[in-house]
Protein backbone atom coordinates (compact mmCIF):
# COMPACT_ATOMS: atom_id res chain seq x y z
CA UNK A 1 0.00 0.00 0.00
CA UNK A 2 2.74 2.43 0.94
CA UNK A 3 4.61 1.60 -2.27
CA UNK A 4 1.59 2.60 -4.37
CA UNK A 5 1.29 5.89 -2.50
CA UNK A 6 5.00 6.57 -2.95
CA UNK A 7 4.74 5.75 -6.66
CA UNK A 8 2.08 8.45 -6.97
CA UNK A 9 4.42 10.88 -5.22
CA UNK A 10 7.17 9.88 -7.63
CA UNK A 11 5.05 10.98 -10.59
CA UNK A 12 4.14 14.22 -8.86
CA UNK A 13 7.75 14.92 -7.91
CA UNK A 14 10.10 13.85 -10.73
CA UNK A 15 13.00 15.23 -8.73
CA UNK A 16 14.90 12.55 -6.83
CA UNK A 17 15.74 15.05 -4.09
CA UNK A 18 12.09 15.92 -3.49
CA UNK A 19 11.13 12.25 -3.59
CA UNK A 20 13.80 11.40 -1.02
CA UNK A 21 12.58 14.15 1.30
CA UNK A 22 8.97 12.98 1.02
CA UNK A 23 9.99 9.39 1.79
CA UNK A 24 11.97 10.60 4.80
CA UNK A 25 8.97 12.54 6.10
CA UNK A 26 6.54 9.66 5.55
CA UNK A 27 8.99 6.95 6.60
CA UNK A 28 11.45 8.27 9.21
CA UNK A 29 12.80 4.73 9.55
CA UNK A 30 14.25 4.90 6.05
CA UNK A 31 12.96 1.47 5.13
CA UNK A 32 11.52 2.71 1.83
CA UNK A 33 14.88 4.21 0.88
CA UNK A 34 16.40 0.75 1.24
CA UNK A 35 13.75 -0.66 -1.09
CA UNK A 36 14.61 1.93 -3.71
Answer yes or no: are the C-beta atoms of 33 and 23 closer than 8 Å. Answer: yes
User: What pTM does this model have?
Assistant: 0.24
DSSP at 13: -
pLDDT digits (tens, 9 = 90+) for 1-36: 455 555 666 565 556 666 666 666 666 665 655 555
Amino acid sequence: MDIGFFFLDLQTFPTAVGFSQIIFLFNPRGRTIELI
